[in-house]
Amino acid sequence: MVLLTAFAVAADTFQTGKVVKWENSTYQQKKNKVGQWVVYYIQIDATTYEVARKKETKPKMHSGDTVQLEVKGNKATVINAQGHKEQYQLVGQAQAPGQ
């Protein structure tokens, strides 16, 4: 007798995008203290996502890099051009004009 088991596989929700730019920025750490971080602008179709993470003060991705991006709420998972997966915070999102 053969026992067959079926597994439900979650749909792959990563999308291919391109880092269009990065910039140094600040975020509010405490009431009177700000922290430094790098904000990446990743474009997918007509949408540009801004992602950053605390303690990343030097860029790990560069303009022109092709990446994989998955957004869930205010969290973003990025697989960079070298294949490394990192968790980021979604800090902004914009649609291209006319969209």
Structure-block tokens of residue 69: 């991006």
Signed CA dihedral, 73, 79, 85, 86: sign only: negative
Structure-block tokens of residue 65: 């890099």
72 within domain boundaries: yes
What global pTM score does this model have?
0.83
Which of helix, strand or coil describes residue 44? Answer: strand
Per-residue confidence (pLDDT) for residue 9, from 0 to 100: 41
10 within domain boundaries: no
5 within domain boundaries: no
Per-residue confidence (pLDDT) for residue 55, from 0 to 100: 87
3 within domain boundaries: no
Give the number of domains in the chain: 1
Which domain does 74 fall in, by range?
15-95
4 within domain boundaries: no
Q: What is the pLDDT along the chain (99 residues), one digit of tens a residue?
A: 444 444 434 445 899 999 999 999 999 888 888 899 999 999 999 999 999 999 899 999 999 999 999 999 999 999 999 999 999 999 999 997 765
